[in-house]
């Protein structure tokens, strides 16, 4: 797992510089001009990464829409195939009945009129036969139309599958761009970073037992805290962020149980940077969630968690002005790949 050893260092560097926590030039750091150039490059790379995140999410949404359309096409094709099967059975029954009655051919409706002792009854039979012919013709048309609709559905499915492959490739490309840009940004930030510029954590990297505080639930997704009063939102401006807020804050007191929002694996546990005590969880759907400024951490890297499992307790460690939970949803484990957590939670049935 290549990210385990890198998430913490990325958070330390990016939080310090990008979040505006870097103090003035340190004596043993790089020259001010070089540091400014490196910081400007890092900022540009972060903007590139943000655009790649947007492209990634657009491709993901397109894949999901395509999957729904493809499922609908499959259902329509299956229903049309069942209808075609019924029509074919009805057509077969019609053909067998015509064969048993001796109808068909040029003399079929005429010969009974010539030979019958009761022309009136024969004429009535001929009328019924013509009606049967019309019904058979209509049935044949309906069979042909059903086959045409099935062919059209299959063509649509092929087109959707092709579009799915294109969007999946676009999504993978965007993800690779996100990782590459943020890796480059890290290198630039290392050049810009003075050794003493990393903000000190307000508290130790405290770990403890939180067993029983969080409860696994039958729901696939839950809120990270309950109740969940909102404070600073994603993209918000403020003195504590040089550009924008990278997550959603929940205004909870120290000691509030912080829960995994969904099933996953604990990827990273760390402390000592702007996020203070933090946990990053990798979810099977390809996203990562971060829980920061904790007063106590109750899990370790590699732990499997369920929705509702307690990860720790909220607090005020790291670069904060007061106790709260900082919650992020990321496309990759790196800081800078975040998306707005609220629509993400809403799409999974979590409304806070």
Which range among 182-186, 250-254, 313-317 shows the weakest confidence by mean pLDDT? 182-186
The segment with the largest mean pLDDT, out of 122-126, 129-133, 238-242, 307-311, is 307-311
Using alpha carbons only, what angle is made at residue 46 by residues 41 and 52, rounded to the nearest 5 degrees?
130
Q: In a 10 Å sphere around its CB, with 0-12 CB exposed, 13-18 middle and 19+ buried, how is residue 171 labelled?
A: buried
Res. 231: pLDDT tops 60: yes
User: Distance from first CA to last CA of the chain, Å, rounded?
Assistant: 33
pLDDT bin (cut points 50, 70, 90) of residue 188 is confident
CA dihedral of 176, 178, 183, 186, whole degrees rounded to 10: 180
| Secondary structure of residue 62 in the 3-state scheme | helix
Helix pair 32-101, 119-192: axis angle to 10 deg = 170
H or E, element range at 296: strand 288-297
| Secondary structure of residue 250 in the 3-state scheme | strand
The pLDDT score that the predictor gives to residue 240 is 45
The pLDDT score that the predictor gives to residue 145 is 86
User: 3-state secondary structure string, 119-167?
Assistant: HHHHHHHHHHHHHHHHHHHHHHHHHHHHHHHHHHHHHHHHHHHHHHHHH
* Selected residue with higher pLDDT from 9 and 99: 99
User: Which residues, 6 or more positions from 92, have their beta carbon under 8 angstroms from its beta carbon?
Assistant: none
pLDDT digits (tens, 9 = 90+) for 62-99: 888 888 888 988 888 888 888 878 877 877 777 777 66
Concatenated DSSP letters of 314-340:
EB--SS-SS-BEEEEEESSSSTT-EE-
Please report, for residues 18, 149, 247, 284, the alpha-carbon distance to residue 154 in angstroms, rounded to integers and kept in the order given. 50, 9, 43, 31
The pLDDT score that the predictor gives to residue 136 is 67
Tell me how far the alpha carbon of residue 111 is from its chain's centroid.
72
pLDDT bin (cut points 50, 70, 90) of residue 121 is low
The pLDDT score that the predictor gives to residue 195 is 46
Rg of the chain over Cα atoms, rounded to whole angstroms, equals 34
The pLDDT score that the predictor gives to residue 235 is 75
Res. 4: pLDDT tops 80: no
């Amino acid at each position: 797992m290549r990210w385990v050893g890198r998430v913490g260092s990325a958070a330390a560097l990016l939080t310090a510089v990008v979040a505006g926590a870097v103090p003035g030039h340190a004596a043993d750091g790089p020259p001010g001009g070089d540091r400014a150039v490196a910081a400007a490059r890092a900022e540009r790379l972060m903007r590139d990464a943000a655009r790649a995140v947007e492209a990634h999410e657009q491709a993901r949404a397109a894949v999901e829409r395509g999957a729904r359309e493809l499922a609908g096409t499959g259902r329509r094709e299956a229903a049309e195939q069942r209808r075609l099967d019924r029509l074919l059975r009805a057509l077969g029954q019609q053909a067998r009945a015509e064969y048993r009655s001796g109808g068909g051919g040029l003399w079929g409706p005429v010969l009974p009129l010539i030979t019958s002792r009761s022309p009136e009854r024969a004429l009535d039979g001929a009328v019924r036969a013509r009606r049967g012919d019309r019904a058979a013709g209509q049935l044949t048309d309906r069979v042909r139309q059903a086959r045409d609709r099935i062919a059209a559905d299959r063509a649509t499915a092929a087109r959707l599958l092709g579009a799915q492959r294109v969007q999946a490739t676009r999504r993978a490309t965007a993800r690779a761009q996100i990782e590459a840009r943020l890796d480059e940004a890290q290198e630039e930030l290392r050049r810009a970073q003075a050794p003493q510029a990393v903000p000190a954590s307000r508290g130790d990297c405290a770990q403890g037992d939180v067993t029983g505080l969080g409860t696994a639930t039958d729901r696939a997704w839950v809120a990270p805290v309950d109740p969940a009063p909102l404070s600073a939102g994603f993209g918000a401006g403020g003195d504590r962020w040089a550009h924008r807020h990278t997550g959603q804050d929940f205004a909870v007191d120290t000691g509030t149980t912080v829960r995994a929002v969904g099933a996953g694996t604990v990827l990273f546990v760390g402390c000592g940077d702007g996020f203070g005590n933090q946990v990053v969880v990798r979810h099977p759907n390809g996203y990562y969630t971060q829980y920061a400024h904790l007063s106590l951490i109750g899990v370790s890297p590699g732990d499997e968690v369920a929705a509702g499992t307690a990860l720790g307790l909220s607090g005020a460690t790291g670069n904060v002005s007061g106790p709260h939970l900082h919650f992020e949803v990321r496309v990759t484990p790196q800081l800078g790949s975040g998306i707005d957590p609220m629509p993400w939670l809403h799409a999974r049935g979590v409304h806070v």
